[in-house]
Amino acid sequence: MKAECILVIGANGQIGSVLVEYLREIYGLGKVVATDIRMPDYPSGIFEQLDATDARAMADIVRKYSVTQIYHLAAILSAKGEQDPLRTWHINMQTYFNVLEVARENGVGKVFYPSSIAVFGDHVDDIAEQWSYLDPATVYGISKTAGENWSNYYFKRYGLDIRSLRYPGIIGYQSMPGGGTTDYAVDIYHKAVNNEVFECFLKPDTTLPMIYISDAMDATVRLMEAPAEKIRVRTSYNLAGMSFSPEEIAASIRKHLPDFSIQYKPDFRQAIADSWPKEIDDSQARKDWGWRPAYSLDKMTEEMIAELRKKYDLVN
Ligand code: AKB
């Protein structure tokens, strides 16, 4: 059996920084090559600086380490992407085309492509089904929809084993998100444990699909480890953890921190959130490769508060 060597692109981001550690625990420290355009604050394990728009540099790293799997996490997210739509399209698509071509030309066995609930738009009411219509409202969502279709094309045309999840908003204590519409649901915990008032950029009743980071890591590796014949969706799988609104997460936090206070000041991100579904039907993922989330809102809140208290040294 060929030994795995995994390349993670965008390793310093919200998902990447946690995923690299998770993969190293599973496959071994020397088997995961972390790359990012920025140097990490605290390098550990193998790290290479990589601008993923540079296909030649990416190919050099793939050959240097005999890479067998690529997790491509670099992207500009929904809210930040709206500031410069053409640049967002360029970065999100060029980096993915490079991954697809480098993987194809160098015999990389598997590719992970993160898609998003941002692929859904106004034609989905409250619940997004696996095969709901995709009419994204943001350039980030348009790029993810295109990426899903390119994944399917490379699978069908070249047999490249690409697997993908439509991530909801991801919430974790280890790292901060940047440039997303669901970011409020991470920031709120940081403000709460530090006894600060939280100013929310969404309205109180804006329900969005979310997932706890441990569930997101489990889903990602479970999908990548599933036998190829179980993977029946080659665009991207719907993935759900939980759904809640700002007023519901605030109520969950108040069970631990009764004085927590939230104020609402909706901005341009409200329109993005309004274009997304409230809930995701992930029954196809459950059926095909046995996906089950472990975290509810309250279970996540308990862990987030405990971990952030440790992080901020607020244990007693
Ligand atoms: C965002 O808010 O842009 C991301 C996403 C849902 O893909 N977290």
Residues 72-98 have pLDDT tens digits of 999 999 999 999 999 999 999 999 999
What's the distance, CA 154 to chain centroid? 22
Band (44; pLDDT cuts 50, 70, 90): confident
Check residue 191 and give its pLDDT. Answer: 97
pLDDT of 1 strictly over 50: no
Per-residue tokens: 135: 């009419």
Q: Is the CB of 137 under 6 A from ligand 1?
A: no
Q: Is the CB of 167 under 6 A from ligand 1?
A: yes
CB 89 within 8 A of CB 142: yes
Distance CA 123, CA 194 (A): 40
Q: Is the CB of 181 under 6 A from ligand 1?
A: yes
Distance CA 18, CA 11 (A): 8
pLDDT of 223 strictly over 80: yes
- Domains along the chain? 6-170+212-238 (3.40.50.720), 172-208+241-278+295-311 (3.90.25)
Of all protein residues, the one whose alpha carbon is nearest to atom 8 of ligand 1 is 169
How confident is the model over 181-212, as pLDDT tens digits?
999 999 999 999 999 999 999 999 999 999 99
What type of residue sits at position 13?
A: G
The ligand 1 atom at the shortest distance from the C-alpha of residue 117 is 6
Check residue 2 and give its pLDDT. Answer: 57
Distance CA 92, CA 9 (A): 12
Q: Indicate which residue of 96, 113, 140, 173 is catalytic.
A: 140
C-alpha distances out from residue 270 to 78, 202, 254, 289, 310, Å: 12, 5, 24, 34, 32
Q: Is the CB of 88 under 6 A from ligand 1?
A: no
Distance CA 111, CA 313 (A): 39
42 is a catalytic site residue: no
Q: Is 3 exposed, middle or buried (0-12, 13-18, 19+ CB in 10 A)?
A: exposed
Per-residue tokens: 97: 């085309």
Q: Is the CB of 78 under 6 A from ligand 1?
A: yes
Q: Concatenate the DSSP letters of all residues of 162-175 into one string.
A: EEEEEE-EEE-SSS
Residue 68: phi and psi, rounded to 5, are -110, -20
Distance CA 284, CA 185 (A): 26
| Mean pLDDT across 40-62 | 94
DSSP secondary structure code for residue 237 in this structure: E
Mean pLDDT of the chain: 97
The ligand 1 atom at the shortest distance from the C-alpha of residue 140 is 3
Check residue 314 and give its pLDDT. Answer: 79
What type of residue sits at position 188?
A: I
Band (41; pLDDT cuts 50, 70, 90): confident
Output the 3-class SS for 102-161. Answer: HHHHCCCCEEEEEEEHHHCECCCCCEECCCCCCCECCHHHHHHHHHHHHHHHHHHHHCCE
Distance CA 234, CA 132 (A): 15
The ligand 1 atom at the shortest distance from the C-alpha of residue 81 is 3
Q: Is the CB of 61 under 6 A from ligand 1?
A: no
Pocket test for ligand 1, best of 167, 170, 182, 272 (most atoms within 8 A of CB): 182
pTM: 0.97
pLDDT of 316 strictly over 70: no
- Higher pLDDT residue, 42 or 49? 49
